[in-house]
Homo-oligomer: A and B are copies of this chain.
């Protein structure tokens, strides 16, 4: 019988009652003959509780110890889920990342999976057991615990589905699929029954919180059929109904080429913009600025370098807000003295709004429609970045919701 991987997010595991519901749902699949591997996140709020304690200890906790701490959340929820399954009469066993093991690189707090030893999983599946595997974590070559970063349990689940060649990876979450944009902001947002891999990649990278981008990368690389669906339905709904619910990530893009020009709008209010002022504009300046940042494992997103005036230029880039303080310190201590910039201008919190669609490849004027719409609403654009299937802009946080709603309407995404 087929292997199927279930992943449950923090909200789905958010209380004892919900964990019992997860167990009932998994039991249903197990009883239908599937070989089920379950990857739970930490109970909602738990990871924040742990990280807040760390921050109370010290503003910049040691990252190896931070992983040691944060990984306990998934270990606890995995044990609770295995108990709940056993209490339902389903043979089950939980494993941590180090017990399998799941090997990662050494980048604490944002490690990447290198390999997964699936022997214990297979042995237990063949033995008729449900296998619960902690999401979000692994070990590095030294035997230290590593974590995969926020949302890393999605990546764990898809990677496990890949090595097991699972029939499908079901990402159960507190929404019932992927929407044209966040329905909490735009009530007219529509659920898509399928979304192309490329669009999903852009949506994830742009801050749509449905799936972590690395999980989508894994899904794409290993062509893992991945479905986002709700964990809040009755756990005992018929299997046939559950199997076609949610949104399936689709690898056959050609079929859908004639679809909407823009298929979704992603946004994030968790960006920081940093500008180095009056940098002498010499060859290699971008590399001199960004190499130390990359070496510190800080992801730079959008980059803009202005026209040079009198041999000096302003150099701006955005990062995730989580890296803000670390980046500012690095720039002040290392980069500014090295590149002889005059000063630093910072905007600690800005918003990013992006339109995404495969159809943008073959249609001109999409970005222009975007800019015109925002101009009409009086929204000032601070930065622009474009790729084949998306256009992103940075704006003031206070305009974010207005921008998303207008664009959702203009590009014909509102539900009928």
Q: Tell me, yes or no, whether A397 is within 8 Å of chain B by CB.
A: no
Residue A53 is within 8 A (CB to CB) of chain B in the complex: yes
Q: Is A311 an interface residue (CB 8 A)?
A: no
- Name A79's contact: one of B68, B87, B94 (CB within 8 Å): B68
For A84, the closest partner residue in chain B by CB is B57
Contact of A83 among B16, B20, B66, B72 (CB under 8 A): B66
What's the tally of chain A residues with a CB closer than 8 Å to chain B? 37
A86 to chain B: closest CB distance in Å? 5
Q: Are B80 and A54 in contact (CB under 8 A)?
A: yes
Question: Is the CB of A78 closer than 8 A to any CB of chain B?
Answer: yes
Beyond A53-B16, A57-B16, whether A86 also contacts B68 by CB under 8 A is: no
B82 touches A76 (CB 8 A): no
B-side contacts of A86, CB under 8 Å: 58, 61-62, 65
Q: How far is the CB of A393 from chain B (nearest CB, A)?
A: 39
Judge if A75 is at the interface, Cβ distance under 8 Å: yes
Q: Mark A177-221, 1 if CB is under 8 A from B, else 0.
A: 000000000000000000000000000000000000000000000
Residue A98 at the B interface, CB < 8 A?
Answer: yes
B99–A83 contact, CB under 8 A? no
Interface of A (DSSP majority class) = helix
The reply to whether B65 and A83 form a contact with Cβ atoms under 8 Å apart is: yes
CA distance A98 to B143 in the complex (A): 10
Greatest chain B CB density within 10 A among A61, A62, A64 is at A62
* CB closest chain-B residue, reference A132: B65
* Given contacts A72-B72, A87-B57, A82 and B99 within 8 Å (CB-CB): no
Shortest Cβ-Cβ A-B pairs, 6 listed: A58-B87, A69-B79, A68-B79, A72-B72, A16-B56, A65-B79
Give me 5 other A-B pairs in contact (C-beta within 8 A), A54-B79, A64-B93 excluded.
A54-B83, A57-B87, A65-B79, A65-B82, A96-B145
